[in-house]
Amino acid sequence: MKRHIYNCQAGCPVESTLQIISGKWKAVILYHFMKESICHFGELQRSIKDCSRRMLAIQLKELESDGVIEKKIYPVTPPKTDYKLTEFGETLIPVIQSMEKWGNYYNQRVDENIK
């Protein structure tokens, strides 16, 4: 799967943000990093049930290459891998918190309309 790179127009901060967090699972992954300072691959996979192992690995690799998360591999059997937000990645926390707040608002609104 080829990664889509936005051709950001000068001065468009929304496109710049999407450059980093676009993708079906990246914002969800970042949400989990916001809740837990260190995440293990297996824990993320169990938490994000609809995301395949391969897709999770791709999304984590892209976040790592963008400098949002860092990966630490422990030389043990079975292999253990930790991921955590970098200092740069932590600057995305307010963005993810805003998405969480709006998502809660939306979910509540949908629930009220169903009743």
* Tally of CB atoms within 10 A around 115: 4
Question: Dihedral of CA 55/89/12/102: which sign?
Answer: positive
The pLDDT tens digits of the residues spanning 47-56 come to 999 999 999 9
Domain boundaries, the chain: 13-114
pLDDT in the model for residue 11? 67
Dist CA 42 CA 18 (whole Å):
26
Would the pLDDT of 60 be above 90?
Answer: yes
Residue 98 identity (one-letter amino acid)? S
Would the pLDDT of 78 be above 60?
Answer: yes
Among the four given CATH numbers 2.60.40.10, 1.10.10.10, 3.90.1150.10, 3.40.50.11610, the one describing domain 13-114: 1.10.10.10
Length of the chain: 115
The pTM is what? 0.83
